[in-house]
Amino acid sequence: MKIAQLRYDERSRTWSLYAADRNERWFLYDNVRPAPDVGPLLAEIGEDPTGIFWG
């Protein structure tokens, strides 16, 4: 089961968070901004305020 994906952009030196849709295709999760450190993105996954990662 696909939960989340973190992608690094070398140009901006930031990480972005992606979520999988019901067809297991990745889309940009835009409720949290890209960050230079994965900490805020991992926190967003753990807190899951929208219910998209853990239901």
To the nearest 5 percent, what fractions of the chain are helix, strand and coil? 15, 30, 55
Could you give the CA distance from residue 43 to residue 23 in angstroms, rounded to a whole number?
25
pLDDT in tens, 1-55: 889 999 999 999 999 999 999 999 999 999 999 999 999 999 999 999 999 999 8
Residue 52 located in a structural domain: no
Query: 13 lies in which domain range?
Result: 4-47
Number of independent structural domains in the chain:
1
CB distance 19 to 7 below 8 Å = no
Residue 40 located in a structural domain: yes
- Cα distances (angstroms) measured from residue 42 to each of 4, 23, 32, 52: 9, 23, 10, 14
Helix (H, G, I), strand (E, B) or coil at 40: helix
Q: What is the pLDDT of residue 19?
A: 97
Q: What is the pLDDT of residue 1?
A: 81
Residue 17 located in a structural domain: yes
Residue 11 located in a structural domain: yes
Residue 22 located in a structural domain: yes
Residue 55 located in a structural domain: no
